Structures are given as C-alpha cells and as structure tokens.
C-alpha cells in the first residue's frame, strides 16, 4: 500500500485540475489511511457475473462449461440500498474505517453492475477508499457529476497484448479492450480519480514476448504495469493441484500454458495467512472463508471481527491450506522485468 500512497500523492501534486482545497482534502484522507491502517481489506463482490471465459479462473471455467456461477438468492447484482446497509454494518463493526480499503471485486466483473455509478456514489458518501479491478470489456455509464475521487486503486486485468492471447483466455476483442482501457483511464481521471492505476499483466507461456509492447502502451497512458505469473486462480482446483488430484485434461492445460513451477518453488507450510485479516462478502451478503475460497461462513450481519478470527482459527480448510503452503501465493506472484529475466536464465 505504501507504493499506492506514494503514487496517489504524486498524482495529487501533479493534477492541475484540482483546487488547493481539494488537494488538501485528499492529502488528509491519505494521512488518515496511513494513521489508522489496519492491514485489512474489505472485499465486496458487487456482481455475481462475469463475461470473461478465462480457463484458469473458476468463474471463467464455469462460463466455458455453460454452468455460470449462481448466487444463493439467484440475483446477479447487489441492490444499492442493500449495499448501503451492509456498508453501515461494516462501519459499526469496525471492519471498515479510515484505515481500510473497500475492494468492489473478487470473482466477478464490477463494471457490469447496471447501477455502478450509484454504487460508487454510495461508497463515496460513506467515505470509503475504493478499489476496482476490471477486464475492461464493458464501459460503465458515468453521469456528468460522477465523483471518482475516492477510487484509490483501479486494476486492468489483461491476459496478453494480442488478439491471439485474448482468443486463448478472455475470448474478447483485443482492440475493443484497448479502446476501453484508454477510455476508462481518461474518464476516471477527468472525474477526479488520483488513485493508482495499473495493468495486471498475466504472464503465460505464450505471451511473454508481448510484455514489452504492453509496457510501452502503459507508459503512454501514464499508468503502471505489474506482470504476474498466471496461476490456477480457482480455489478448489488449486487445492487439487497441490494434492495431486487434478484431472489429466486440466493438468495438460496447466503444463501447456502456466508456470506453476515458479510457484511450487515458493510454497512451504506456514502457520499464518494475511488473507485472514480480510472479510470477503458476496453480493447477497454471504461471507466467504476468504477471497480465494468461496466456502460460505455466514451472513455479514452476524459477523464481527472476533467471530471471523475464530472461524479462521478453527477452520479445517485453513489448516489444510496452510499445511500445503497456499498462503505463500500472496507473497510470490508478482515479478519485475529483472526477476523475469533471472528466472529464465536459471
């Protein structure tokens, strides 16, 4: 988060469209975040649908098999009033305060929400620091008074920098995605967003040669790029991988496309997991064990920080997960260009 804060501070000082008063307000917000930082993120999936068809993501895999994920209530998007009620509860329980971020995504696509602008307005009124991640296939409708000044993080998730790569993973039109990313960057900046924006570039065996072009493009857009080795972003199948229970077909795809060897290097049994600090909520108010596993643990209105800590402490799934070393995934997925070069020269 420190680098995010520095990026925001730099963007703030360089933004000539903001009045000195607005800059002061935003700087105070940053200071409050630093002072009260809890290390916790509130993860709230405002949608229960994604249009991507990414093979190694559990949502995309379900889409490819024509069995799209369904919420318990059967609804696809959180209602704005219900969202507001949950935010108030999260604040009362101190899950949300000046030192936490509210991420409006996990397994689904937030920009598909038909009332996306109202969701942001509500979170802004409740003084939240908002994080978003999008595949950029759909542009949200933004009213002229849209206020993006509380969006502190905006991630563009990309599976490469060519139509061939997009055909393999997201199955979107690549030029359309580029156009949308450019538009979203411009629109959010014009609406007061000084937060960090970056491309999460998923490295597959077939797209390493596309990274340089993506870097150049990100530079033109004045946003960052974070290359990340793609992995089995699918809780149940990741567990199966480590327990050597994956089907041969799936394993074949893994060995053709991913660098799971990079991960098996860093996994080791552990007794702690940073994800336990977070609370993960689905659009209908059900809480998941964590952002990586959608095992249901109860309704958000029954949840307190103490109860959540006890659930994690007693969870057999968490015990198995830590014994397998899966929480190490949090620390080792990102790489810079130098690490990438080193990895391939070893």
Write out the residues near ligand SF4 by the rule CB under 6 A: 50, 52, 54, 57, 59-60, 107-109, 135, 157, 170, 273, 275-276, 289-290, 292-293, 312, 317-318, 321-322, 326-327
Shortest CB 342 distance to ligand SF4, Å: 27
Query: CA-CA distance, 172 to 165, in Å (whole number)?
Result: 10
The nearer residue to ligand SF4, 130 or 326, going by C-beta atoms, is 326
- Here the tokens at position 83 are 């969202």
Kindly give, in sequence order, each residue whose CB lies less than 8 Å from that of residue 301, ignoring residues fewer than 6 positions away.
86, 89, 285
β 293-299/286-290 pair status: antiparallel
Q: Within the chain, where are the H helices?
A: 2-14, 20-36, 58-64, 80-92, 116-125, 163-168, 174-190, 211-221, 235-242, 248-257, 260-266, 305-314, 316-324, 329-332, 337-345
Contacts of 320 (CB under 8 A, 6+ apart): 239
Q: Which is nearer to ligand SF4, 5 or 257 (CB)?
A: 257
Our CB check for ligand SF4 shows the closer of 111 and 148 to be 111
Q: What share of the chain is helix, strand, coil (3-state, %, to 5)?
A: 50, 15, 35
| Shortest distance (Å) from residue 269 CB to ligand SF4 | 11
Nearer to ligand SF4, 54 or 117 (CB): 54
Nearest distance in Å: CB 104, ligand SF4: 13
- Pick between residue 57 and residue 181 the one whose CB is nearest to ligand SF4: 57
Distance CA 263, CA 242 (A): 11
| Least gap, CB of 202 to ligand SF4 (angstroms) | 8
In the bound complex, which residue of the shown chain has the CB atom lying closest to ligand SF4? 52
CB 46 within 8 A of CB 83: yes
Q: In the complex, what is the shortest distance from the CB of residue 135 to ligand SF4, in angstroms, rounded to a whole number?
A: 4
Select 5 or 76, whichever has its Cβ closest to ligand SF4: 76
Least distance (Å) between residue 109 CB and ligand SF4: 6
């Amino acid at each position: 988060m420190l680098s995010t804060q520095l990026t925001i501070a730099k963007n703030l000082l360089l933004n000539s469209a903001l009045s000195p008063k607005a800059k002061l307000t935003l700087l105070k917000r940053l200071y409050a975040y630093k002072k009260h930082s809890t290390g916790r993120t509130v993860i709230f999936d405002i949608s229960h649908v994604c249009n991507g068809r990414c093979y190694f993501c559990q949502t995309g895999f379900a889409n490819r098999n024509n069995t799209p994920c369904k919420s318990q209530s059967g609804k696809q998007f959180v209602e704005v009033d219900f969202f507001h009620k949950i935010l108030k509860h999260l604040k009362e329980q101190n899950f949300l305060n000046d030192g936490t971020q509210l991420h409006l995504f996990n397994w689904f696509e937030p920009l598909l929400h038909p009332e996306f602008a109202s969701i942001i307005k509500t979170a802004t009124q409740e003084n939240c620091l908002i994080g978003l991640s999008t595949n950029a296939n759909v542009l949200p409708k933004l009213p002229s008074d849209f206020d993006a000044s509380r969006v502190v993080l905006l991630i563009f998730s990309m599976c490469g920098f060519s139509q061939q790569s997009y055909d393999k993973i997201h199955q979107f039109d690549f030029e359309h995605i580029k156009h949308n990313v450019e538009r979203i960057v411009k629109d959010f900046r014009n609406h007061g967003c000084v937060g960090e924006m970056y491309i999460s570039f998923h490295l597959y065996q077939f797209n390493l040669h596309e990274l340089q072009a993506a870097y150049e493009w990100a530079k033109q857009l004045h946003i960052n790029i974070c290359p990340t080795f793609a992995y089995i972003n699918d809780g149940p199948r990741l567990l199966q991988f480590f327990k050597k229970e994956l089907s041969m077909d799936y394993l074949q795809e893994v060995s053709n496309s991913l660098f799971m060897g990079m991960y098996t290097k860093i996994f080791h049994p552990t007794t702690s997991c940073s994800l336990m600090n977070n609370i993960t909520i689905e659009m209908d108010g059900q809480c998941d064990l964590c952002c990586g596993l959608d095992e249901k643990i109860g309704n958000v209105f029954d949840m307190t920080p103490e109860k959540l800590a006890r659930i994690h402490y007693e969870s057999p799934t968490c015990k198995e997960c830590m014994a397998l070393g899966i929480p190490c995934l949090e620390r080792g997925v990102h790489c810079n260009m130098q690490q990438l070069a080193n990895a391939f020269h070893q």
